[in-house]
Chain A
């Protein structure tokens, strides 16, 4: 088996593991980690396709490479935004649970009206 195929199978497994963690883990931070894992697997699949498209003296097709670079930066921006939302939820509600019937233990520091 060639190295590209081995890396491709690893990427497929990362997608599966990420999806499983995203569904089953109740904690938002763990869901975020799992989602990033899933995304990283998808990026790697792009890399496999690009590696197979090696031509004209390049070891990897530059177009999927550029798309993945854009994707990594956007994934980081989305993760940072999600983390900021999570920390704000924790400051406001006192916990990070996603359950809709969770008891509210709000300190009400920034929301005097309720």
Chain B
């Protein structure tokens, strides 16, 4: 293994500094901005670790969309800061500091004492790549070797959206999520919301398609599509669909639905649940990923929009 370069040491120091800032700074909004910057820097660390798939996901979902949802909440809750002055006493803080330092030290020692012949599943992933016809090992693991994880994760996304929607007040039940956005129709935001989506949609679909053989996939592509949709919504050019919309709900269950349908097909006609027939593995996986792309884009955007706030006339 190589010696740390200057770039890598500066990157690690920057990430550490931003983490400290996020915890220590007084104002919540500044802390949130620090955390978003932290997320983007961590994406660079993932590039340094040669995990481009994770770097894309971290930048798009961890830092990008997660950053927007946290910043939005920080802006809305800005006035509550003075009322919440209940800092724990000195003893609690000292105890927490000791506990945190001990856990960090234990992890650091574990990192330093890792065995030299590191265990790895990469050869196994390569040896079985022919079974799916996809060359990107991460997509193979996500969609085939550990497909059950990904299918259940889609259910988690669905549960999260159900949870967010169920926080609507009685008047807004089944209504449109989030506040109504209005922007200057001749302003920069509206201009960008007209200019960027065609390009963004092509990039999102390309990231999905290239994910079969190169870094990319349904999550990263879905995050790009979600941000394009959000841009159009925030510029006031389109509105969020009402939560009671049947078409929207169909899109939300399309990804996990198709995944489980194919999985059950494997159970009936193949060896096991989610066992793809080898001759059709690639088209099946790409089909599931396409449905997942739509589901992920809609789910991520609606998770960001929040609970329904405006009722729709019936």
A and B held together in a complex:
yes
Contact A76 B65 (CB under 8 A): yes
Count how many chain B residues have C-beta atoms less than 8 Å from C-beta atoms of the other chain.
101
Contact A40 B5 (CB under 8 A): no
Docked pose: A48 CA to B160 CA in angstroms: 29
Summed over the interface, the residue pairs from A and B with CB atoms below 8 Å come to a total of 298
Which of A33, A37, A52, A67 is within 8 Å of B118, CB to CB?
Answer: A52
Docked pose: A32 CA to B54 CA in angstroms: 22
CB distance from B99 to the nearest CB of A (A): 7
Contact A47 B28 (CB under 8 A): no
Q: Does B80 contact A (CB under 8 A)?
A: yes
Contact A56 B123 (CB under 8 A): yes
Residues of B within 8 A of A27 (CB): 28, 81, 84
CB distance from A78 to the nearest CB of B (A): 7
CB distance from A68 to the nearest CB of B (A): 5
A residues near B, CB below 8 A?
A: 1-21, 23-27, 29-30, 32-34, 36-37, 40, 43-45, 47-63, 65-70, 72-81, 83-88, 90-91, 95-97, 99, 109-110
B residues near A, CB below 8 A?
A: 1-5, 8-9, 12, 15-16, 19-20, 22-23, 28, 31-32, 35, 38-39, 42, 45-46, 48-51, 53-54, 57-58, 61-62, 65-66, 69-70, 72-74, 76-77, 80-81, 83-88, 92-93, 96-97, 99-101, 103-105, 107-108, 111-112, 114, 118-123, 125-126, 137-138, 140-142, 145-146, 149-150, 153, 156-157, 160, 163-164, 167, 169-171, 217, 219, 296, 299-300, 303-304, 306-307
A–B pairs, 13, beta carbons within 8 Å: A4-B49, A7-B8, A8-B108, A12-B107, A24-B93, A26-B84, A36-B70, A40-B38, A58-B50, A62-B137, A66-B149, A83-B72, A95-B84
